[in-house]
């Protein structure tokens, strides 16, 4: 089955530590969003709290969705100094982090 | 910080069992996509293999992204007999499954 190429969704599923305040989370999300202004290959950013109704979220509290034009763009992002600096801010606030990337592919039935 | 309402992304991150063949996975994805034709509240479906370059995917092999107009739409989907029947096909093939839902929210900086 043919899979999409090109556009990549870079998804971070995160659980913030209990002691992290809502204000800290808000600041953190704004800094994440600002990476779009700093890293040319990062095309857009959206976020949301987990609102799932099944009990399969495994403690995840927040989803961060970044969009890139290619896997090369993700590589440029990962090695960019502004991403690395932000990682050093974000990581200590998280109890859990899962990152997956995928080419969003529709299915022709 | 104001979070989006309305549209919900329902994300399933999955790891298929080692013994599941590529043909079985393909059939499984097509059946998942076909739920759009069976469940009115499910508006669209996309999928992709994990192509992440960091080692933070925790074994996840596939991402399934479904879109709904509201959390009520997700609730209708979850309780729909065709979703339940599909779950009975999918679950035995998976070693791991994480489900999160979120309202994709842009950030105004």
**pLDDT tens digits for range B28-84:** 999 999 999 999 999 999 999 999 999 999 999 999 999 999 999 999 999 999 999
Report the distance separating Cα A37 and Cα A39, nearest Å: 6
Chain A, residues 46-75, CB within 8 A of chain B, namely 46-54, 56-58, 60, 62-63, 65, 71, 74-75
DSSP codes, B28-70: HHHHHHHHHHH-TTEEEEEEEE---SSS-STT--EEEEEEESS
Task: Judge whether residue B4 has pLDDT over 90.
Answer: no
Task: Judge whether residue A39 has pLDDT over 90.
Answer: yes
List the catalytic residue out of B62, B77, B83, B86: B77
Does the beta carbon of B24 lie under 8 angstroms from any beta carbon of chain A? no
A-chain residues near B47 (CB < 8 A): 102, 104-105, 107
The interface predicted TM-score (ipTM) is: 0.95
Model confidence band, residue A5 (pLDDT cutoffs 50, 70, 90): confident
Q: What is the DSSP letter of A59?
A: T
Model confidence band, residue B105 (pLDDT cutoffs 50, 70, 90): very high
Sheet holding A94-102, edge to edge: A42-49, A62-68, A8-16, A94-102
Model pLDDT, residue B82:
98
CA of residue A54 relative to chain centroid, distance: 22
Model pLDDT, residue B3:
83
Does the beta carbon of A99 lie under 8 angstroms from any beta carbon of chain B? yes
Element (H, E) at B24: helix B22-38
Average per-residue pLDDT in chain A?
Answer: 97
Model pLDDT, residue A24:
97
For residue B109, count CB atoms less than 10 angstroms from its CB and return exposed for 0-12, middle for 13-18, buried for 19 or more: exposed
Report the distance separating Cα B66 and Cα B33, nearest Å: 9
Q: What is the DSSP letter of B105?
A: B
For residue B21, count CB atoms less than 10 angstroms from its CB and return exposed for 0-12, middle for 13-18, buried for 19 or more: exposed
Grouping H, G, I as helix, E, B as strand and the rest as coil, residue A104 is coil
Q: Judge: B29–A107 Cβ closer than 8 Å, yes or no.
A: yes
Average per-residue pLDDT in chain B?
Answer: 97
Model pLDDT, residue B31:
98
B-chain residues near A48 (CB < 8 A): 3-4, 9, 102-105
Does the beta carbon of A79 lie under 8 angstroms from any beta carbon of chain B? no
The percentage of chain B sitting over the pLDDT mark of 70, rounded to a whole number, equals 100
Sketch out chain A's domains with CATH numbers.
8-102 (3.30.70.100)
Active site includes B10?
A: no
Residue A73 CB contacts under 8 Å (≥ 6 apart), including other chains: A8, A41, A42, A43
Model pLDDT, residue A77:
98
Does the beta carbon of A102 lie under 8 angstroms from any beta carbon of chain B? yes
Tell which residue, A6, A4, A35, A80, has the closest CA to residue B63: A4
The percentage of chain A sitting over the pLDDT mark of 70, rounded to a whole number, equals 100
Report the distance separating Cα B16 and Cα B90, nearest Å: 9
Task: Judge whether residue B5 has pLDDT over 90.
Answer: no
Task: Judge whether residue A1 has pLDDT over 90.
Answer: no
Task: Judge whether residue B2 has pLDDT over 90.
Answer: no
Grouping H, G, I as helix, E, B as strand and the rest as coil, residue B109 is coil
| Better-predicted residue by pLDDT, A109 or A91 | A91
């Amino acid at each position: 089955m043919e899979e999409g190429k090109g556009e990549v969704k870079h998804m971070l599923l995160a659980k913030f530590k209990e002691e992290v305040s809502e204000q800290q989370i808000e600041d953190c999300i704004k800094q994440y969003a600002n990476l779009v202004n700093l890293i040319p290959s990062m095309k857009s950013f959206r976020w949301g709290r987990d609102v799932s109704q099944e009990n399969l979220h495994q403690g995840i509290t927040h989803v961060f969705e970044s969009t890139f034009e290619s896997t090369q763009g993700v590589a440029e992002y990962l090695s960019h100094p502004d991403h690395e600096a932000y990682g050093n801010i974000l990581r200590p606030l998280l109890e859990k982090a899962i990152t997956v990337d995928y080419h969003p592919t529709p299915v022709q039935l």
